Structure 1
C-alpha cells in the first residue's frame, strides 16, 4: 500500500494545494486591504469604548499605510471606510459630550488627509501603478535602461569610464550614455546624449531615448546610428523634441576612431607625444530637428598614451560664460587633474567643472 492509498495520505497534499490556490486567488492588494480593515477596526473600537485613552487621530495610521500599499482600485474604498469610522466616532463623542476643539481639529485633519490620499489615488489610477510597488517598478525600469551605459570590459591596454551628475542630485537626468562593445565586437561604441529641457520632463524622455538608442547602437553600423536616432526622434513629435549627441566608434585592434556629432560640444583628443588636448569638432545638426541630414565623421587614431574625452554642455557652458571659454577651462583642468593618470579621472573632472544647476556627463577613453 502506497502513502497515497493509506487513509489520510492524500490529506496533506490536498491541504497544501488548496492553500496555494487560495493564495493565488487572493491578490496581494486584497490581502493588504483585509489586514488594513482589521487594523482600522482594532483602532476604532477601543476609541469608541475609551475615547479618553485612544484619540480619533489614531486612524491616520491605517490611512498612511494604505496610501503606500494599496492599489488604485482598493485605496478609494478604504479611505471612504476609514472616514465612515471617523463619522461614527464623531457621533459617539457628540452623544457623550466629549467633543472639544482639539478633537474637532483632529477630525478635520483626518478628513483633509483622506482627501489628499484620494487625489493621489486618482493620479495613480491614470498611471496604473500602486504605492511603493509602483515606485519600485519605475526605479527598476530606470536601472535596467541606465545599465545600457555600463562600460564593457575592454581589451588589455584600453581604459574607459564615465561619470554622471544630475542637476538636482537625483538618479534621473537629461544626460545619459549608451555603449556597445566586446566580447562579441571588435569595436567599442559610446554615445553621450543631452536631452533638451530640464527636470522630470527631460528625465522621462532620457529614459525612453536611452532604451531606443541602446538598441540602435547594437544593431546598426556606426555611420547609420545618428541618422536612425534622428529619424526616431522626429517620429516622436515632442514639443521639446530635440537632443544633442556625440558618437565615438573605436577600432580596438588598430586604435582608429570615427567621431560624429549632432549639435553637441566637440570631443577632445589628448595626444601623448605633445601632452596637449586637441578639440575634434564634428559637424551635424541636433537630433529631432531636420529630416534627411548627414553627420560627417572626424577620423583619427588613438595611440598608446592618448585619450579621448566626450562630455555634455553642462561641463563647459553657464549663463555667464561662453562655451568656447568653458572648453578651454575644461582642457586646462584636464591637463592638471589627469596627467596620464586616467583611473577616476572622469569623476575628478565632473566634481571640478560645470554648473551645479545643469546635468553633467563625461566619458573618458584612454589607451595605456
Structure 2
C-alpha cells in the first residue's frame, strides 16, 4: 500500500514537472529572467556560504536553460552566468582555481548551446523535439492496434524492433468495415531507428489508403505513393490480407514479402499462401497476384516479416519451418498470446520482427 502511494506521488510530481517545462517553453522571456535570477541567487549564497553552496551550483541554471530556452536566450544566459561565476570566485578571500572552473563551466555551456543550436535549426527549442518524436512513436504504435472484431474472431499483433529501440521499420495498419477486415504488414528497408522515419511516413499514407480504395487497388496505390517519394535505394515489402468475417473467405496479396501461413484446424497442417508481387517502389505498374482461401472455425492466418524467418545463416524456407514449429506448440491454447510469444522466441535479435495472427475461433 505504501509503495503504491509512493509511486502515485512520483507520477504526480513527474506530471507537474512536465507541465512546468511546457509552460516555460511558451514563455521564453519569463523563463530567461527566472533562470538568471536563480543564477544570481546561487551566486549570492555561494559568496556568503561557500562551504554549503559551492560555485558549481551555477551549472544548474545553464542545464535548465537548455531544456526550456531558445538558442539566443541560452547563449546570453550562459555568458552572464560565466561572468557571475568569475565575479564570485574572484571576490572570495580564500584562493580558488578561478580559471579552471570557468573553463569547465564554459565547456558545459558550449555543449548545452550546441544541442540547442541543432534544435533551433529544426524550429523546436528545448525538449519539444524529443516530445514530438515520442508523440510520433505513440502514433505509430496506435495505428498498429487491430480493430475490435465480432464474436468468433480474434486477432493479435506483436512488433519487436532491432536493438530494442522504440522505433521499428515494421509496422501494421488495419481497418474493419462492413464485416471486412483488412490488415497490411509493412517492412521498410533498413531496421530500427534508421527505418523509423520512413515507417512513420508510410504508416500514415498506407493507413489512409486502407479501407478507402478497393482491396485489389491497395498495393498498386501504395506503390504509386512510394514511387512519388523518389527514394534512391529504399523500398518496402507488404503482405496485405482481406478477410470476410461472415464467411471466412480471405484474399492475400504480397509485394516482395514472405508468404502468409494458414493453419488448418481440421487436418492440423500448415500451408503457405504464396502470392507473387514485386517490391513496392521499384516497378512503375506492377501486378499483384491474389491467393484466395477460407478460414474455417479453428483456422488461423499468420502474417509475418522477414525478421521472423530469415537470418544471415538461415534462408526463408528453413525459417518458415522453424516458425511453424514454434506455433505448433501454441495450438492447444488456441493461439492466445501467440503473437508476443512468437516474436520473443522466433524473432531475430538483429532485425525488426513483426507478426499478425487472425484466428477464427471454434466456438463463438
Q: TM-score, normalised by structure 1?
A: 0.86
**Structure 2 CA distance for partners of 1:87 and 1:159, relative to 1, 3 Å:** same
**Structure 2 CA distance for partners of 1:73 and 1:285, relative to 1, 3 Å:** farther
Q: Tell which deviates more after alignment, 187-196 or 72-81.
A: 72-81
Q: 1:136 deviation in Å?
A: 1.8
CA distance in 1, matches of 2:250, 2:71: 52
User: Which residue in the other structure is 1:211 paired with?
Assistant: 204
SS at match of 2:314: coil
CA distance in 2, matches of 1:351, 1:177: 18
Superposition RMSD on alpha carbons, in Å? Answer: 2.0
Q: 1:213 deviation in Å?
A: 0.7
Q: Paired residue for 1:323, among 312, 316, 323? A: 316
Q: 1:144 deviation in Å?
A: 2.3
SS at match of 1:270: strand
User: Which residue in the other structure is 1:20 paired with?
Assistant: none
User: Which residue in the other structure is 1:82 paired with?
Assistant: 81
In structure 2, list runs of 5 or more residues that go unmatched: 1-22
CA distance in 2, matches of 1:279, 1:241: 27
> What is the correspondence of 1:66-145 to structure 2 with a 5 Å cutoff?
66-92=65-91, 96=93, 98-100=95-97, 104-145=99-140
The answer as to whether partners of 1:263 and 1:287 remain within 8 angstroms in 2 is yes
Q: 1:139 deviation in Å?
A: 1.1
CA distance in 1, matches of 2:75, 2:216: 53
Q: Paired residue for 1:200, among 193, 201, 208? A: 193
CA distance in 1, matches of 2:69, 2:269: 59
Q: 1:133 deviation in Å?
A: 3.4
Q: 1:173 deviation in Å?
A: 0.8
Is 1:165–2:160 an aligned residue pair?
yes
> What is the correspondence of 1:22-101 to structure 2 with a 5 Å cutoff?
27-51=26-50, 53-92=52-91, 96=93, 98-100=95-97
SS at match of 1:63: helix
Q: Paired residue for 1:282, among 275, 283, 298? A: 275
Is 1:176–2:168 an aligned residue pair?
no
CA distance in 1, matches of 2:282, 2:76: 48
Q: Tell which deviates more after alignment, 214-223 or 64-73.
A: 64-73
Q: 1:208 deviation in Å?
A: 1.0
The answer as to whether partners of 1:305 and 1:340 remain within 8 angstroms in 2 is no
SS at match of 1:293: coil
Which structure is larger by alpha-carbon Rg, 1 or 2? 1
Q: 1:348 deviation in Å?
A: 1.0
User: Which residue in the other structure is 1:18 paired with?
Assistant: none
Q: Paired residue for 2:150, among 147, 151, 155? A: 155
The answer as to whether partners of 1:76 and 1:121 remain within 8 angstroms in 2 is no
Q: Paired residue for 2:337, among 329, 344, 359? A: 344
**Structure 2 CA distance for partners of 1:222 and 1:117, relative to 1, 3 Å:** same
Q: 1:330 deviation in Å?
A: 0.5
Q: Deviations over 1:9-43 (max 9, x none)?
A: xxxxxxxxxxxxxxx9x943333222211111101
The answer as to whether partners of 2:175 and 2:183 remain within 8 angstroms in 1 is yes
Q: Paired residue for 1:296, among 265, 289, 298? A: 289
SS at match of 1:131: coil
Q: 1:333 deviation in Å?
A: 1.1
Q: Deviations over 1:43-100 (max 9, x none)?
A: 122334454553221111111112122234533332233223234335435xx56133
Q: Paired residue for 1:353, among 346, 352, 357? A: 346
CA distance in 2, matches of 1:218, 1:45: 65
Count residues with an aligned counterpart: 338
The answer as to whether partners of 1:72 and 1:129 remain within 8 angstroms in 2 is no
Q: TM-score, normalised by structure 2?
A: 0.87
SS at match of 2:185: strand
The answer as to whether partners of 1:29 and 1:71 remain within 8 angstroms in 2 is yes
